[in-house]
């Protein structure tokens, strides 16, 4: 440990804390260490790691010093595979970073997001219809829903089926990419840069990177070219790529940058949105009293004769509390995305050296029992008892509702889009369905589920659990079908050049 840096767990010679940091569920270890070492502590891994574990420290280090803490770690694999196409791996001084961030502002601003609402509502209608038909596949239905929204608003095409080739290809790439960058699966090239020069015979990861790059390019340039071909045929639907290319003289955004902006939205917005919906469904099954109270509120305020829409959330405080509690209980990115300090900074009397990796301990902050009463229980009413769900009397200075979206210059740009998607889907789900744990066919008792068990990935959710998702009545089911029929008018605008299987699906649903 360098002198003056925050304290932390004892280190071993040469290895620092590398052996203490588990590859899986690292956020649980970070949360436990915060109890011993406080709001800001350090660990030694690939260089100095700084972990911030209170809203005040987040404000100090990531917001106030954002000009020096908005870097990202360099990744040799990201350079080889993504070739600058994914903003999450670009450092803030990279010229593409500014262009992509500005483009995302354009695509995801509050005003632009208002234009995306009809697509989100229509996709939520299909999600409800899918849940009516095949509730047991809820895990993949929400994946399709999330992916189709970002695909529609960027490239102007949708994903009608959970088996659509475009989703299969995307998921396969994400899976292989995550495997490639998970520590322990391949030699740590960033740690020992000389490994870059090992001949390919002894470095199978080099071939793998080439293969992944080819697949990634084929996937995204394929979507871009399909959009350009549609534009040549003058089949417009107002998607982001169309707008950028039509106004390229005025906006000066190059084709590759337009692509990078769309890639950012797809990579950032697919799995995260699905993760929220997956955790919501698991928690509703595990806590039936929450669902009962949500039904009571929605029946009282909305009634059973219309399906709620986005604006209705304003008059449904308990459902707002449920949504906040899902983000608290299972934050999709439990450690955010690591930032890198690009100069030395002083915070809280400690030195944060240049090139430190900074993690925001989102999971730890949301599960601190000094701040949240019974943090491991799903209790939406905590957000009715106090604004931030904290124990009354807690010092809420610098606390905000968006902690799970990161901080500083790299804060998630998709907050409005995801809030609109998840709110619409949550309202539709709660209005129309009962969600309960499946029963054991022999004993008739609920099958055991554990909402504390999260998927093992960088973006997490509650795990897939055996649930029954059933319409609340025949009348609810009938209205869900009618809403889907009506939404077909909107969805059709995004159904160009479908594969024969997708075309058959949208015709004979």
Cβ distance to ligand HEM smaller for residue 84 or 414: 414
Give, as ranges, the residues between 371 and 410 that touch ligand HEM (CB under 6 A): 404-407, 410
Q: Which two tokens stand for residue 49?
A: 């790691």
Please, what is the minimum distance in Å from the beta carbon of residue 147 to ligand HEM? 11
Give me the residues paired with residue 346 across strands: 351
Given the rule CB under 6 A, which of 9-17, 331-339, 380-388, 441-449 is the region that contacts ligand HEM? 331-339
Cβ distance to ligand HEM smaller for residue 92 or 491: 92
Give, as ranges, the residues between 82 and 111 that touch ligand HEM (CB under 6 A): 87-88, 104, 108
The burial class, CB within 10 Å (0-12 / 13-18 / 19+), for 474 is exposed
* Interacting residue with ligand HEM among 68, 125, 216, 273 (CB under 6 A): 273
* Interacting residue with ligand HEM among 264, 277, 283, 371 (CB under 6 A): 264
* Interacting residue with ligand HEM among 321, 417, 425, 465 (CB under 6 A): 417
Q: Do 416 and 265 meet the contact criterion of CB atoms below 8 Å apart?
A: no
Please, what is the minimum distance in Å from the beta carbon of residue 282 to ligand HEM? 15
Quote the Cα angle for 398-403-408, to 5°: 75
Query: What gap in Å lies between CA 203 and CA 186, rounded to an integer?
Result: 9
Q: Do 398 and 421 meet the contact criterion of CB atoms below 8 Å apart?
A: no
* Interacting residue with ligand HEM among 265, 281, 298, 465 (CB under 6 A): 265
Cβ distance to ligand HEM smaller for residue 109 or 251: 109
332 belongs to the binding site for ligand HEM (CB under 6 A): yes
Please, what is the minimum distance in Å from the beta carbon of residue 302 to ligand HEM? 24
Give, as ranges, the residues between 123 and 162 that touch ligand HEM (CB under 6 A): 150
In angstroms, what CA-CA distances link 369 with 19, 115, 355, 391? 27, 41, 32, 9
51 belongs to the binding site for ligand HEM (CB under 6 A): no
The helix/strand/coil state of 6 is coil
180 belongs to the binding site for ligand HEM (CB under 6 A): no
Q: Do 363 and 279 meet the contact criterion of CB atoms below 8 Å apart?
A: no
412 is in an annotated binding site: yes
Residue 265: name the closest of 120, 149, 356 by CA.
149
* Interacting residue with ligand HEM among 181, 301, 337, 447 (CB under 6 A): 337
Q: Which two tokens stand for residue 352?
A: 């944060």
Q: Do 396 and 292 meet the contact criterion of CB atoms below 8 Å apart?
A: no
Give, as ranges, the residues between 447 and 486 that touch ligand HEM (CB under 6 A): none
H helices of 38-137, in order, are 55-58, 76-82, 95-108, 110-133
Q: Do 372 and 382 meet the contact criterion of CB atoms below 8 Å apart?
A: yes
The helix/strand count (H/E) of the chain reads as: 19, 8
Given the rule CB under 6 A, which of 221-229, 265-273, 311-319, 487-495 is the region that contacts ligand HEM? 265-273
Cβ distance to ligand HEM smaller for residue 88 or 504: 88
Q: Which two tokens stand for residue 80?
A: 């080889």
The length of the chain in residues reads 509
Given the rule CB under 6 A, which of 16-24, 202-210, 335-343, 473-481 is the region that contacts ligand HEM? 335-343
* Interacting residue with ligand HEM among 375, 413, 451, 471 (CB under 6 A): 413
Please, what is the minimum distance in Å from the beta carbon of residue 113 to ligand HEM? 10
425 belongs to the binding site for ligand HEM (CB under 6 A): no
Cβ distance to ligand HEM smaller for residue 267 or 434: 267
Q: Do 103 and 261 meet the contact criterion of CB atoms below 8 Å apart?
A: yes
Counting residues that bind ligand HEM (by CB under 6 A) gives 28
The helix/strand/coil state of 471 is strand
- The answer for residues whose C-beta is within 8 angstroms of residue 364's C-beta and 6 or more apart is 27, 30, 31, 34, 51, 53
Residue 358: name the closest of 20, 51, 44 by CA.
51
205 belongs to the binding site for ligand HEM (CB under 6 A): no
- CA dihedral sign, ordered 117, 119, 125, 131: negative
Please, what is the minimum distance in Å from the beta carbon of residue 93 to ligand HEM? 13
Please, what is the minimum distance in Å from the beta carbon of residue 447 to ligand HEM? 27
Cβ distance to ligand HEM smaller for residue 231 or 411: 411
284 belongs to the binding site for ligand HEM (CB under 6 A): no
Full strand arrangement of the beta sheet holding 357-360: 40-45, 47-52, 357-360, 339-340
For the window 338-367, what string marks contact with ligand HEM as x by the rule CB under 6 A? Answer: -x----------------------------
The helix/strand/coil state of 93 is coil
Instruction: Name the region of 206 (left: φ>0; alpha: ψ -120 to 50; beta: rest).
Output: alpha
Cβ distance to ligand HEM smaller for residue 129 or 405: 405
Give, as ranges, the residues between 217 and 246 that touch ligand HEM (CB under 6 A): none
- What residues form the annotated binding site for heme? 412
Residue ranges in contact with ligand HEM by CB under 6 A:
87-88, 104, 108, 150, 264-265, 268-269, 272-273, 276, 332-333, 336-337, 339, 404-407, 410-414, 417-418
């Amino acid at each position: 440990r360098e002198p003056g840096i925050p304290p932390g767990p004892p280190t071993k010679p040469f290895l620092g804390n590398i052996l203490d940091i588990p590859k899986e569920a690292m956020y649980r270890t970070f949360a436990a260490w915060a109890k011993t070492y406080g709001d800001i502590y350090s660990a030694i891994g690939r260089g100095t790691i700084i972990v911030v574990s209170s809203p005040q420290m987040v404000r100090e280090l990531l917001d106030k010093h954002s000009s020096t803490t908005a870097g990202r770690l360099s990744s040799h694999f990201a350079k080889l595979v993504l070739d600058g196409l994914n903003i999450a791996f670009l450092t803030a001084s990279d010229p593409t970073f500014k262009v992509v961030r500005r483009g995302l502002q354009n695509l995801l601003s509050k005003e632009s997001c208002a234009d995306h609402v009809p697509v989100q509502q229509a996709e939520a209608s299909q999600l409800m219809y899918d849940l009516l038909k095949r509730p047991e596949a809820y895990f993949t239905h929400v994946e399709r829903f999330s992916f189709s929204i970002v695909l529609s608003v960027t490239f102007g095409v949708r994903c009608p089926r959970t088996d659509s080739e475009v989703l299969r290809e995307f998921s396969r790439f994400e899976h292989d990419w995550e495997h490639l960058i998970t520590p322990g699966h391949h030699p740590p090239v960033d740690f020992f840069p000389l490994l870059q020069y090992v001949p390919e015979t002894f470095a199978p990861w080099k071939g793998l990177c080439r293969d992944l790059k080819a697949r990634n390019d084929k996937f995204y340039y394929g979507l871009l070219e399909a959009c350009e071909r549609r534009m040549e045929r003058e089949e417009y639907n107002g998607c982001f790529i169309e707008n950028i290319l039509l106004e390229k003289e005025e906006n000066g955004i190059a084709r590759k940058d337009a692509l990078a902006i769309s890639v950012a939205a797809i990579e950032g917005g697919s799995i995260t949105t699905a993760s929220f919906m997956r955790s919501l469904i698991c928690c509703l099954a595990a806590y039936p009293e929450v669902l009962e109270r949500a039904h009571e509120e929605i029946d009282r305020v909305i009634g059973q004769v219309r399906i709620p829409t986005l604006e209705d959330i304003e008059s449904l405080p308990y459902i707002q509390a449920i949504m906040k509690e899902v983000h608290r209980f299972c934050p999709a990115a439990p450690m955010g995305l690591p930032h890198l300090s690009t100069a030395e900074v002083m915070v809280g009397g400690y030195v944060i050296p240049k090139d430190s990796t900074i993690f925001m301990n989102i999971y730890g902050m949301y599960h601190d029992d000094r701040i949240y009463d019974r943090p491991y229980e799903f209790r939406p009413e905590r957000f009715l008892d106090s604004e931030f769900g904290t124990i009354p009397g807690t010092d809420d200075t610098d606390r905000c509702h968006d902690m799970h979206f990161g901080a500083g210059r790299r804060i998630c740009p998709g907050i409005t889009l995801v809030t609109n998607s998840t709110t619409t889907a949550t309202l539709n789900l709660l209005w129309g369905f009962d969600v309960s744990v499946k029963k054991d066919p022999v004993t008739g008792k609920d099958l055991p589920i554990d909402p504390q068990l999260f998927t093992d990935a960088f973006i997490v959710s509650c795990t897939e659990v055996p649930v029954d998702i059933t319409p609340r009545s025949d009348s609810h089911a009938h209205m869900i079908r009618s809403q889907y029929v009506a939404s077909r008018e909107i969805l059709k605008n995004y159904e160009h050049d479908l594969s024969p299987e997708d075309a058959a699906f949208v015709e004979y649903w």
